[in-house]
């Protein structure tokens, strides 16, 4: 491992553009979602999270990162970011213009060809041969050393290929930078590269002790050592997304989502404030629902409706038979109880009452509900609120 990596701290942040739509979806459901499961969702989608790279305090004072301001890729070496900027972003600054000219004149007995791509590079004795070799190498095989690439070049004594190369060379390329009076132009690729490095590179490269990198960019960093280091940190965070969960909890609370902890220490997100109610002050059907859930925490709606909607045993002599609530009535009361926070419905459908399931509630920073339909909970028809 590169010793410099030991001085780097990696943390994960939610991308802002994914927060509000997800908060909207969670709030519409009215259910409570495990904060760790939501964090795992963010980590599973590169477009949902960003990576923060930071030099640890106490590290070498000279240690720093180099970031390409165009695509946000981060490097540990200045030369590496310079090569990256030239290879990936040269075309943003330079316009290539092709014009028709005359074919090269001279006595050419052979022509060189790239053994990897089949591109004709020209006769070794042609004046721009080395420029052409460097241009193809940088454009197509930047990860390969120039010396290794030259070993893949083949020289052919073929009159037809020489003529083909001459025809291709009629198309002459001019490299232009800037507009108007400030514009400059070059016919040699090496001169264009030198201009780019001298006049464009400084504005493309930032230096600093910490940078934020988009998740998709972090997965494909040119620096292989840094890329593996980030991937290992991602795997560790995916197994136990504590840091991202903390960031998400604060972010969602600013979006009107509340959080609560269960007795087991798990944290959940919800748009509905858990609000325990005394069953003694409710109508019989609500009292039966609350009693059933308290006795069977983790039950689901179908189970509750099937049990409470079943016909009771025949009453004893002298007793009055109690009416059996219909499925529609049970469904309406359940909807009201969940909307009011008197019953918690988790993302997997499990049910719980706040007095049993919740140990602590943290209210949202904003008291504006994410959705108007939840601003005023509906009262079930034909019965007073539980």
- List pLDDT tens digits, range 323-344: 788 999 999 999 999 999 999 9
C-alpha count within 13 angstroms, C-beta hemisphere, residue 15:
18
| Fold of the domain built from segment(s) 256-311+324-374 | Arc Repressor Mutant, subunit A (1.10.10)
Radius of gyration for the chain, computed over Cα atoms and rounded to the nearest angstrom? 34
**C-alpha 272 chain-centroid distance:** 27
Q: Is 23 exposed, middle or buried (0-12, 13-18, 19+ CB in 10 A)?
A: buried
Report yes or no: 50 and 241 within 8 Å, Cβ to Cβ.
no
Report yes or no: 338 and 301 within 8 Å, Cβ to Cβ.
no
Q: What is the pTM of this model?
A: 0.73
pLDDT at 16: 85
Map out the domains of the chain as residue ranges.
Answer: 3-63+209-241, 81-191, 256-311+324-374
Rounded to whole angstroms, the Cα distance separating 375 from 372 reads: 5
Pairing of strands 267-270, 258-262: antiparallel
Q: Which residues of the chain have pLDDT under 70?
A: 1, 311-322, 366-386
Rounded to whole angstroms, the Cα distance separating 325 from 309 reads: 6
Rounded to whole angstroms, the Cα distance separating 72 from 48 reads: 16
CA dihedral over 103, 106, 110, 113, signed as positive or negative: negative
C-alpha count within 13 angstroms, C-beta hemisphere, residue 154:
11
Rounded to whole angstroms, the Cα distance separating 366 from 78 reads: 44
- pLDDT tens-digit map of 174-225: 999 998 888 999 988 889 999 999 999 999 999 999 999 999 999 999 999 9
pLDDT at 318: 62
pLDDT at 316: 56
């Amino acid at each position: 491992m590169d010793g410099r990596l030991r001085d780097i701290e990696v943390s994960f942040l939610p991308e802002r553009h994914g927060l509000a739509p997800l908060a909207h979806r969670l709030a519409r459901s009215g259910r409570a979602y495990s904060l760790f499961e939501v964090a795992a969702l963010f980590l599973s989608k590169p477009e949902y999270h960003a990576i923060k790279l930071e030099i640890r305090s106490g590290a070498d004072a000279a240690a720093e990162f180099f970031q390409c301001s165009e695509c946000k890729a981060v490097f540990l070496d200045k030369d590496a970011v310079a090569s990256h900027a030239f290879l990936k972003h040269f075309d943003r600054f330079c316009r290539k213009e092709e014009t028709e000219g005359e074919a090269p004149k001279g006595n050419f007995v052979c022509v060189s060809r790239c053994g990897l791509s089949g591109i004709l590079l020209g006769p070794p004795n042609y004046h721009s041969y080395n420029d052409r070799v460097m241009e193809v190498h940088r454009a197509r095989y930047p990860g390969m050393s120039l010396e290794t690439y030259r070993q893949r070049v083949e020289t052919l004594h073929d009159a037809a290929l020489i003529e083909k190369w001459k025809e291709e060379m009629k198309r002459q390329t001019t490299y232009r930078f800037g507009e108007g009076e400030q514009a400059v132009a070059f016919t040699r690729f090496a001169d264009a590269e030198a201009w780019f490095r001298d006049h464009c590179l400084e504005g493309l490269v930032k230096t600093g002790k910490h940078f934020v990198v988009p998740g998709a960019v972090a997965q494909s960093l040119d620096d292989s050592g840094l890329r593996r280091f980030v991937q290992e940190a991602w795997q560790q965070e995916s197994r136990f997304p504590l840091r991202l969960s903390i960031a998400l909890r604060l972010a969602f609370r600013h979006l009107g989502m509340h959080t609560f902890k269960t007795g087991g220490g798990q944290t959940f997100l919800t748009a509905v404030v858990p609000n325990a109610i005394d069953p003694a002050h409710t109508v019989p059907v609500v009292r039966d629902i609350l009693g059933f859930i308290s006795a069977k925490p983790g039950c689901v709606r179908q189970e509750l409706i099937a049990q409470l909607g079943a016909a009771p045993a025949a009453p004893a002599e002298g007793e009055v038979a109690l009416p059996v609530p219909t499925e529609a009535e049970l469904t309406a009361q359940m909807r009201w109880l969940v909307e009011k926070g008197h019953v918690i419905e988790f993302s997997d459908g499990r049910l719980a009452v706040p007095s049993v399931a919740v140990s602590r509630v943290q209210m949202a920073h904003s008291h504006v509900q994410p959705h108007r339909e939840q601003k005023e909970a509906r009262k079930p028809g034909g019965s007073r609120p539980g």
